[in-house]
Amino acid sequence: MKGQVLIEATNVSVAYRMSHDRAGTFKEFTFQLLKRQVTTESFLAVDDVSFEVNRGETLALIGPNGAGKTTMMKVIARVLPPTEGRVVVKGVVAPMIALGAGFNSELNAIENIVLLGTLLGRDPLEMRGRVESICDWAGLTEFMDVPIRSYSSGMLARLGFGVVSDVEPDVIVVDEVLAVGDEAFQRRSFDRLQSLISGGTAVLLVSHALEKVEAMADRVIWMDKGKIRMEGGPDEVIAAYKASVPR
Amino acid sequence: MDTTLPVYDSAALRTPIITELRNLWVYRGLIRLLVTRDLTTRYKRSVLGVWWTLLNPLLTTGVMWLVFGVVIGSRFGQTTEPYVVYLLSGVIMMTFFSQGFLATAAAITGAGGILTKVYVPAEVFAFATAISTAVNFLISFGALIIIQIWAGVGVPLTILLAPVPIILMLALIVGLGLTLAALAVYFYDILDLSRVLVQLVYYLTPVFWTLDIIPDRFHGLLRFNPLFSYLELFRDLAYRGIMPEAWVWLIPIGSSLVFLALGVWLFGRSWKTLVSQL
């Protein structure tokens, strides 16, 4: 079913409330309410963005810090509701926004695999059956009954990627996570992503590593100050983006 | 396979209460996991482990019994029933309330690290926390039954109905916890404020004092404190062996439903702002 649209963002805007104007205490809030000034001032992190990602396709978001890339990812990952516009995502979504989010440092690898898998919407019993192959992939079999608070960051990243990529997702949302770990891990996680993509997974990727984007993405969107600045093939968009960065 | 794909549509309408109930069902595996995780990791580094759940209310009761029963004496302890049983039953119910209510509210902000990275309905964390305080309560309820037998009160048949006030209390805790979590989005101070209020309520509820030290004309006023009737209901059923009067049933049932509905409604209204501020 190639060509089926899995991610559809239509005129999405996300506004954050400005924190310095937020009523901090009950007293302030009451006064502001009385003066009819409850803060409405907000900051548009994403401003009227639309795009689609098809099955088996990889779309990358690039742009400077503060362009709204991560916010956009969070909207697609369902973590953040859009303020305006609409998002429709079909299928099982695997968010790789921060590998290891959801892990409990007091628990060991086995318990954490079950915990994270369940957080991602899978059945705990089913996850228990996946423990061995995940530990095996992550190269953590001999440490699987050690509390993960004694793990190195590379080990945590391998475990996290192992679990998230194990759920056979239809949609993967990746935020810079492929930049962690050693060369061997990066290559293996890249290969695993590739095999998922050829199996029909749609990928939304956010990265500052432009060579990686060039190698992986079918299409690239350049975001700036919450808006889409340019959209197209990786070569032309990356070249234009690079040219815009002052030396 | 494509027709059966789960679909996330941000424009889909959220039906209050129905959405929450469905989420609890869909995420029941996670709730079970979070509850067991909470119970097993809480005391992981302590020597006595889970026994603390049993020891905590017993020690609190011991201290109160010393202060109010022995030192101050009959001023507080004018009961026809053993004071220790009266005290312990009050302590475990009020601990259930105060810990459950505050922990449920804190559970949502506490899960911020997860909620900003993986989609999980926030109320799942609130519910799991409330359930694990309920499990803790059940353990201390076991202690109460042992003390009842030891003090010679015995175990009346009405104890079979004791789950009713416990479930009503759980509903109250979830409702108040969600209300607090929703309000904390707009003014964070309310978390500190409610910690103080819980203390106040503790003293306004007959946990360690009995009704007869209060002048009769204030008794009607006391009924405005809903927790009073939760405690009465629980005590009547757990060890007095009395079938409570209608009003004793009405207030817990009414107040738990009202607060549960209020909490779910307020939470549903503010969850969009809530996640963006975690």
pLDDT digits (tens, 9 = 90+) for B179-225: 998 888 777 788 889 999 999 998 888 888 887 777 778 777 777 78
Q: How many CB atoms lie within 10 A of CB A27?
A: 11
| Comparison of pLDDT for B127 and A182, the residue scoring more | B127
Least confident of A98-102, B102-106, B119-123, B156-160: A98-102
Residue pLDDT, tens place only, B129-168: 999 999 989 988 998 999 899 988 889 999 999 999 999 9
Q: Mutate which of B119, B267, B273 to test chain A, going by most A C-beta atoms within 10 A?
A: B119
Measured CA angle at A216 (ends A210, A219), to 5 deg: 85
Least confident of A60-69, A131-140, B10-19: B10-19
For chain A, list residues whose CB is within 8 angstroms of any CB belonging to chain B.
1, 4, 14, 16-17, 23-26, 29, 74-75, 77-82, 85-93, 95, 97-98, 101-102, 104, 106-107, 111, 114-115, 118-120, 123-125, 170
At B17, list the tokens.
């209460």
| Comparison of pLDDT for A25 and B7, the residue scoring more | B7
B94 vs A54, A147, B273, CA distance in Å? 55, 35, 32
pLDDT of residue A101: 75
Q: Closest CB to B33: pick one of A82, A86, A124.
A: A124
Q: Is the pLDDT of residue A142 over 80?
A: yes
Q: Is the pLDDT of residue B97 over 90?
A: yes
User: To 10 degrees, the CA torsion angle through A152, A156, A159, A162?
Assistant: -120
| Residues B114, A102: C-beta atoms closer than 8 Å | yes
For chains A and B, CB pairs below 8 A equal: 108
For residue A81, list chain B residues with Cβ-Cβ distance below 8 A: 10, 272, 275-276
**What is the rounded CA–CA span in Å between residue A96 and residue A112?**
16
Please report which confidence band the pLDDT of residue B246 belongs to, taking 50, 70 and 90 as the band edges.
Answer: confident
Q: Residues B94-120: what's their mean pLDDT?
A: 88
**What is the rounded CA–CA span in Å between residue A236 and residue B166?**
65
Residue pLDDT, tens place only, A12-57: 999 887 655 455 566 666 666 666 555 556 788 999 999 999 999 9
Least confident of A119-128, A209-218, B40-49, B89-98: B40-49
Q: Kindly give the residue spans of alpha helices, DSSP state H, lying in chain B.
A: 18-26, 28-41, 51-64, 83-110, 112-115, 122-150, 163-186, 190-204, 219-222, 226-235, 246-277
At A139, list the tokens.
């190269």
pLDDT of residue B80: 76
DSSP string, B144-205: HHHHHHHTT----GGGGGTHHHHHHHHHHHHHHHHHHHHHHHH-TTHHHHHHHHHHHHHHHS
pLDDT of residue A165: 87
Contact residues for A15 (Cβ-Cβ < 8 A; gap 6+): A42, A43, A44, A45, A83, A84
Q: Closest CB to A119: pick one of B32, B114, B190.
A: B114
| Comparison of pLDDT for B191 and B93, the residue scoring more | B93
For residue A18, list chain B residues with Cβ-Cβ distance below 8 A: none
**What is the rounded CA–CA span in Å between residue A34 and residue B84?**
50
Q: Residues B241-253: what's their mean pLDDT?
A: 87
Q: How far is B205 from chain A (nearest CA, A)?
A: 27
At A115, list the tokens.
């915990």
Q: Closest CB to A78: pick one of B11, B32, B119.
A: B119
Q: Mutate which of A14, A80, A112 to test chain B, going by most B C-beta atoms within 10 A?
A: A80
Q: Closest CB to B187: pick one of A23, A102, A124.
A: A23
Q: Is the pLDDT of residue A168 over 90?
A: no
Q: Is the pLDDT of residue B274 over 50?
A: yes
For residue B118, list chain A residues with Cβ-Cβ distance below 8 A: 77, 79, 95, 97, 101-102, 119-120
Residue pLDDT, tens place only, B28-69: 999 999 998 888 777 666 777 777 777 877 888 888 778 777
Q: Sheet of A42-54: strands edge to edge?
A: A42-54, A5-17, A84-90, B7-9
For residue A86, list chain B residues with Cβ-Cβ distance below 8 A: 9-11
For residue B29, list chain A residues with Cβ-Cβ distance below 8 A: 118, 123-125
pLDDT of residue B134: 94
Q: Closest CB to A115: pick one of B11, B37, B193.
A: B37
| Residues B188, A80: C-beta atoms closer than 8 Å | no
Residue pLDDT, tens place only, B258-273: 999 999 888 888 877 7
pLDDT of residue B260: 92
What is this model's ipTM? 0.79
For residue B113, list chain A residues with Cβ-Cβ distance below 8 A: 101-102
Least confident of A7-11, A127-131, B225-229, B258-262: B225-229
At B277, list the tokens.
């501020």
Q: Residues A101-112: what's their mean pLDDT?
A: 84
Q: How far is A44 from chain B (nearest CA, A)?
A: 13
Q: How far is B272 from chain A (nearest CA, A)?
A: 6
| Comparison of pLDDT for B61 and A68, the residue scoring more | A68
Q: Is the distance from CB of B60 to CB of B91 less than 8 angstroms? A: yes
Q: Mutate which of B1, B8, B14, B26 to test chain A, going by most A C-beta atoms within 10 A?
A: B8
